[in-house]
Amino acid sequence: MKFPNLSEEKDAFKKGYDFVIGLDEVGRGAFAGPVVVGAVLFDKNILRVDLKKSFIKDVDDSKKIRPDKRESLSTLIRNGFIHSIATIPVSTINKHGIAKAAAIGFRKAIEQIKECSKGRYFVLIDGFHIKYIKDIGLKNQKGIIKGDGKCFSIAASSIIAKVHRDYLMVSLDKKFPKYCFSKNKGYGTKEHQEAIRQHGLSKIHRTSFNLQKFTF
């Protein structure tokens, strides 16, 4: 069976859920910039799409897709499905830590989606379940390890989140050109580490990550 596929979504609809929300976050391990959560909403109509004749067959883990293809897929997903994107700033990451900041992003993205459609939701999340999701709880969600490579709705959300965050980091490169954010997107490449050693930390670096070790 090819992955990602719709098996998780099909199971949810068989159990009587009206909608499935796929969720993924991008930027968890970056040294700088926000963490971004993407969410994509699907109803049962997704099961009637001919995958062999649709762009849907190209959806995969965003990291496995070349940038130009990823951008075109993101446009198609955003134009074709209800979706939301939650951007959690560095200030929140530094105050609460990356795990709590990502959870805040997941909850925010879900609430934004729920404003658009009413019904019974099942949430599919890349990684682990999220505590304290209003009106969702634990029984109406499932965390899937490496879900962006297994589950279609999670893969779709990873694509829109990745494209959005990359765009933000390219924009930040103009404000902080010394760190080459347009190339490294805030991740800890050798070039980025060397820039930190030379110039210290900027205001969009994650001080909660103990990056001071790269300044010496």
Q: Which domains does the chain have, with CATH numbers?
A: 7-177 (3.30.420.10)
Chain segment 104-114, per-residue pLDDT in tens: 999 999 999 99
Please state, as a whole number, how many other Cβ atoms lie within 10 Å of the Cβ of residue 98: 20
Strand partners, 86: 37
In Å, what is the CA distance from 75 to each residue of 19, 130, 194?
A: 21, 28, 35
pTM reported for the whole predicted model: 0.93
- Helix (H) / strand (E) element for 74: namely helix 67-80
Token code pair at residue 32? 């700088």
pLDDT for res 215: 64
- pLDDT in the model for residue 54: 65
Tell me what pLDDT residue 187 has.
96
CA 53 to mean position of chain CA atoms: 26
* pLDDT at 89 exceeding the cut of 60: yes
Residue 201 · residue 213 · CB < 8 Å: no
pLDDT tens profile 151-184: 999 999 999 999 999 999 999 999 999 999 999 9
CA–CA dist 114, 135 (Å, integer):
10
Quick check: helix, strand or coil at residue 41?
A: strand
Structure tokens given for 33: 């910039």
- In the predicted model, what is the mean pLDDT of the chain? 91
> What is the model's pLDDT at position 115?
84
pLDDT digits (tens, 9 = 90+) for 102-149: 999 999 999 999 988 788 999 999 998 888 888 888 999 999 999 999
